[in-house]
Structure 1
Amino acid sequence: MEDTIYDLMEQAQDLPGGAAKLAILEEAARLADASGLKELAYEVRGEIVDCAIFNGYPLKALIAFSWQLGQFDQKPDEYDEQELLWTYKWILGKVCSFPNIPKAQVENLVEDMRKRYAEYGYNERPYHYYKFRIAMDMGRLDEARQYLDTFRTIERDSMSDCEACEQSQIVRFYYLTGEDEQALAVAKPILSGRMTCAEVPHVTLSQVLLPLYRQGEADKAKDHHRNGYRLVRDDRDFLKTIAEHIEYLAVADPVKGIEVVERHLHMALDYESGLEQMYFYAAMVGLLQRLDTSGKSRLVRLPASLEWGKEERTLTEIIAYFRPLAESAAAAFDRRNGNTFYTNWIGEIVQTP
């Protein structure tokens, strides 16, 4: 059976990240479980977490990581604690994406990470940094500002995220608070190419578009949109980033925005993360509303996977279908988070009927 499992893992290695690769890895994990091969099952789930996190399947990653964590706690000497602790950060970066995960459970996870890092001799910079990120995910921006001030005072160690990732998250904070000048100032080392990583400048470029546009730098915004969208358009892990491009196009070039919506709506429809899906639907509705009031008749190609979309639909009908989905998701996140952040955000980009 081990040979069969390793064969499946080799098959998965030859595939690009996505559903097909995950299906093979999940079959390998099932066989390892059925055969009682715990160490091999742990290894396979590490591959599942890696593939799922970076290809738009965060729920699969959370499930696989939870299994790994339980197995590690039973026999910590048999597994690589450094790899597990590094992966823990990926999980914390996605855990707020599901409104059915209670706030208390999210907080317990962060505290558990803090305890484990201390146990293995790492400092608290990652802990405060992820408290900062989670506070942003929950729309608790006053708390986020406090954690931002705290994590930057703690020296970096080997468990800290890279400088580009941290800088990008600071840009995101000022983007969320509407502090345009500060967002653009913090983004400078990223925009200049001095700070880069696997996801930077990808996730940063979309968050300087509206600040630049509002500052009267329309040409710069257009250039950054063109370059930034090219980086993310073929990767489903960047659905929220794509939604931010749509939000920008709603004010800068709504007709161009239709092309982006048509290209990515199929991706949003089966996306595991409710947060990213909500972002996409809301940005799309805001865009379509601008076109719907332009007085011009337009058609939007809807994905074949959307049964409702098999008939020809007007912009008004499409808006009426997706707006409640975005608003109900926002309400669910707000209930979990204890505020009205996402409802207010949708109210800013979606016109009142």
Structure 2
Amino acid sequence: MKKFEQLCAQWRLLESYGDIQHETVKALDAAQDAEDEKLMAQICRHVIGEEAPNHLYSPDFQIACLHWLTEDCIERLNLRKTEKAKKKVCQELSHCLWAYKWFIADLPLMPDMSKERIEFYNEVMREYYERGELGTAMLHKCLMLQAMNMGDIERAKIHHQAWHQSEKDDFSDCETCELNDEIHYRHFIGQYKQTVQLAQPILDGSMSCGEVPHNTYYPIIDSLIESDQWTEAAAQMHKAVQLIESAGEDFIHLLPRLIQLQIKLGQYDTAQSLSEKYHEAIGRRSQNHPIITLHYLSAMAYFKENIFVSAKELAQDLSQMYDKRNGNAYYSKRLQQLLNAQQMTLQ
């Protein structure tokens, strides 16, 4: 068995996502020390993912691997002599450039990642897209989503406008994904009625893709609640939970925010049942994704102390970590708004 296949077999034996990332980092460091660039490239491809991001790993680790692999592709491309050999490397390089869209927006979801490091990778993407003569639409959309994850409304608005003013190209996402991101943006800036209106093609099933409507349900349902459409919100919640449960662990990370909304809807028993059913799966998925931990703790803060004694305090601490890096109080305010809404259901 080849070295990389042996490593993958070892990682599959590990149940903890945290342990998997730890062992993967060790293997990558060992390959670098041994100057085994072939093995390094294999590990980096695995960490990044092929058709979709590999959810086992954290976005900061993934983009570091992506940056190295991109440079490796460029170096290999310059060494190839025949057009056939160059074509294969060009295909891999194209995949690398596409994959920056997977991670740039999510970098702020790692609270330990500095603004300087985030901006470094923003510039990396910008430079590669310029060198590849790609359009700016996807760069601006990624930076819009990134600003949203940092609670920066003004920067999100700037990149939203730039995104829509830029021409689409071969690197643009499908129409459904574009609509999904527009819905998330409208919800983020508080345009709840417009969010619901935009979502109609998704709600009626005329538009869907691999990740939609799964990750569109949260902004839609929350916008329905904020628009006082409680009956429709409850109906969409039922559909959302059914869909995500049927999809297995691929979308388990979406449940904590839906549990938050179940509590806002007064569906206390359903929320508690769902949290107990998927507690271990959510905990496993959150090990390399602190934002999932924050969403789950924020939901658990509602329940009685003997169920989750320090959820509120832990959620507050984690929110403050994000806010300190971002230079605002976005996550702390969102947590307090959720806690206030939870208190109203008790009255």
Question: TM-score, structure 1 length as denominator?
Answer: 0.79
Shift of 1:325: 1.1
Contact 1:33-1:41 within 8 A present in 2 as well: yes
Contact kept, 8 Å, 1:282 with 1:349, in 2: the verdict is yes
Q: Against the structure 1 CA distance between its residues 335 and 216, is the aligned structure 2 distance closer, same or farther, given a 3 Å change threshold?
A: closer
- Cα distance change on mapping 1:8 and 1:194 into 2, 3 Å: farther
Q: Which amino acid aligns with 2:324?
A: R
Residue number among 272, 278, 282 corresponding to 1:258 in the alignment: 272
Determine the structure 2 residue equivalent to 1:312: none
Report the counterpart of residue 258 of structure 2 in structure 1: 245
Give the aligned CA root-mean-square deviation in angstroms.
3.3
Match of 2:55 in 1: 55
SS at match of 1:159: coil
Mapped partners of 2:22, 2:114: distance in 1: 28
Cα contact 2:47–2:54 (8 A) shared by 1: no
Deviations 1:237-271 (A, max 9, x none): 54552122111110221110001111233244342
Query: Following the alignment from structure 2 to structure 1, what is the Cα–Cα distance between the partners of residues 55 and 180?
Result: 20
Could you say if the C-alpha distance between residues 103 and 235 of structure 1 is closer, same or farther in structure 2, counting changes exceeding 3 Å? farther
Which of 119, 125, 128 is the aligned partner of 1:107? Answer: 119
Counterparts in 2 of 1:26-65, with a 5 A limit?
36-50=35-49, 53-59=53-59, 60-65=61-66
**Residue aligning to 2:179:** 167
Q: What CA deviation, in whole Å up to 9, does each residue of 1:254-311 have, x standing for no partner?
A: 110001111233244342122221112112213x2xxxxxxxxxxxxxxxxxxxxxxx
Provide the residue aligned with 2:84 in structure 1: none
1:170-181 pair list within 5 angstroms: 170-181=182-193
Quote how far apart the aligned CAs of 1:18 are: 8.9
Q: Name the stretch that deviates more: 203-212 or 119-128.
A: 203-212
The 1:56–1:228 alpha-carbon spacing in structure 2 relative to 1, beyond 3 Å, is: farther
1:214–1:94 CA distance, 2 compared to 1 (3 A): closer
Structural mapping, 1:121-270, within 5 Å = 121-233=133-245, 235-236=248-249, 238-252=251-265, 253-270=267-284
Could you tell me which of 294, 298, 311 is aligned with 1:278? 294
Change (3 A) 1:27 1:139: closer
Measure how far apart 1:210 and its partner are.
Answer: 2.5
Secondary structure at 1:195 match in 2? coil
Conserved? CA contact 1:8–1:28, under 8 Å: no
Q: Which runs of 5+ in 1 are unaligned?
A: 289-314
Whether the 8 Å CA contact 1:129–1:148 is kept in 2: the answer is yes
Superposition pairs for residues 55-94 of structure 1, below 5 Å? Answer: 55-59=55-59, 60-72=61-73, 74-77=75-78, 79=89, 80-94=92-106
- Structure 2 residue runs without a partner (length 5+): 80-88
Q: Which residue of 2 aligns with 1:296?
A: none
SS in 1 for 2:199: helix
TM-score (norm 2): 0.81
SS of aligned partner of 1:241: helix
Aligned residues: 323
1:141-168 Cα shifts (integer Å, max 9, x gaps): 2221221122012111111222222211
